[in-house]
Amino acid sequence: MVYLTRKEHFNAAHKLECKDWSEEKNEQIFGKCANKNWHGHNYDLWVTVKGMPNPETGFVLNTQILSKIIRERITDRLDHKNLNMDLDLGGLQPSTENMTIWIWNELKSHIPAGELHCVKLQETENIFAEYYGE
């Protein structure tokens, strides 16, 4: 089995807060991500597909196709957007963890060859989350 990864990038704004909590508690739990006037992150996204290389092309999946799918399904919809207001996360926080699950669900049935293996999303230099579909 070969694991093929395409890296993409987007910038987006968000805010993490529980509306029932005080401003102090939100700041305590979510830190800078609770800033009431929003803030942005420069997100790096890795999408990994697994499979065996096609005997003719040598590709698990043509990366031009994979890039186009990620662009159309994910980065065009998220880039320079407000993840709280422009995206329907079903009331969930736009945390790195929840975003990996959302991205997985948006991609999984659109991969034309191989199988989606991992969505990795890096929010800051020191924090990233990975989702493997379970």
Which residues of the chain form contacts with Ni ion (CB under 5 A)? 33
Annotation marks residue 27 as catalytic:
no
From the candidates 33, 39, 72, 97, give the one annotated as an active-site residue. 33
Q: Which listed residue (123, 125, 130, 134) is catalytic?
A: 123
C-beta closer to Ni ion: residue 43 or 131: 43
CB of 38 to Ni ion, least distance (A): 9
Is there a catalytic annotation at residue 80?
A: yes
Q: Which amino acid would we find at residue 117? A: H
Minimum CB separation from Ni ion for residue 14, in Å?
Answer: 6
- Residue 12 burial (CB < 10 Å; 0-12/13-18/19+)? buried
Which residue, 2 or 127, is less far from Ni ion as judged by CB?
127
Catalytic annotation, pick one of 80, 97, 115, 134: 80
Distance CA 12, CA 78 (A): 6
Residue whose pair of structure tokens reads 């968000």 in the numeric block: 14
Considering the complex, what minimum distance in angstroms separates the CB of residue 134 from Ni ion?
A: 26
Q: Establish whether 118 is a catalytic residue.
A: no
Tell me which residue has its CB nearest to Ni ion: 33
Say which residues have a Cβ less than 8 Å from residue 98's Cβ, sequence separation at least 6.
89, 92
Where do the DSSP E strands lie in the chain?
Answer: 2-14, 39-51, 81-82, 115-124, 127-131
Residues annotated catalytic, as ranges:
33, 80, 123
